[in-house]
Amino acid sequence: MVAGKLSALKTRTDVNGSTPQPAGEDMLPTVPLSLADGAITATLAPDGTAVSYSGERQRVNLNLGMGYYHRAGGGGELIGTTEASSMIGNHLAVGTRALIYRSRRDVLFNTVWQIPDSGLRLKASGDYMWGNQEFNFPSGLAELDLEQYGWALSAKWIIPESEECSSLHSLGVSLWGARANQTSHAEPVYYMDETDTAYQIWRDPRLLAEGRLKGASADIQVALLPNVVSRGSVGYEELVFPFFDGSREVNSSMYSNFEFFWEPFKSLT
């Protein structure tokens, strides 16, 4: 959740898109496996392998971007993900998720606490991402090492089910923030710009404006119909880019997120 909220480095990034072409692995089978009376399941596919363990109080998922078929040139940037979660007692759950890319790593931690004998649920999340990324500077393309910290806090009151208040499910508030840092500083580069009448020499320090994000929202979940549920958040976000000369750029905007869940019958949502 946190990691996806921040594109916190102020520069232009070139994205080379391409139209996917049919590959040989599209016609190869996927092999399912089940072990330990179904507690361990696995899926062996041409382009990836997934292994899951479901215990009484723990759950672990492992996804690798490696299968039984190797295609020349690789198959995307994401190498694999690992997820693990566990109950501690009857009211506290903890979990972690790691995403491994070819050029960066992203680790997320979550904690959810249901306060006993109340409808109050608290959630805390933290995220750390590090690695390198290619940016388009005035002097040309260059890779820089980056890191990003993110956090999120939320409190939700789950309203007890009753005849007087059957449509309103929950009310809550959320806070979040993130900060990006440039961890590698290349030597300044001098480049020449040619015009019709002169040659100009420019100095490119290859520095990024490191973003700072913060936001807040009010959250609600309501049953519009017995089989239609809406969940929404409305709030405010601010993204600040401080520059080395003491100035800064501030981008403020309203934040909103809405979801709808429809259950036409009990086995399908």
Q: What is the CATH number of the domain that holds 258?
A: 2.40.160
What domain count does the chain have?
1
60, part of any domain: no
58, part of any domain: no
Taking CA atoms, 230 is separated from 110, 160, 261, in Å, by 24, 17, 6
What would the pLDDT profile of 41-75 be if each residue is shown by its tens digit?
Answer: 877 666 567 778 777 777 777 776 555 444 444 44
193/201 Cα distance (integer angstroms): 6
pLDDT confidence band for 165 (50 / 70 / 90): low
114, part of any domain: yes
190, part of any domain: yes
Phi–psi pair at 78, nearest 5 degrees: -75, 120
Averaged pLDDT for residues 23-41: 65
Q: Which domain holds residue 184?
A: 3-15+69-262
β-pair type (40-44, 49-54): antiparallel
118, part of any domain: yes
Give yes or no for a contact between 90 and 96, defined as CB atoms under 8 angstroms apart.
Answer: no
53, part of any domain: no
What is the distance of C-alpha 251 from the center of its chain? Answer: 21
212/243 Cα distance (integer angstroms): 12
49, part of any domain: no
237, part of any domain: yes
pTM score, two decimals?
0.68
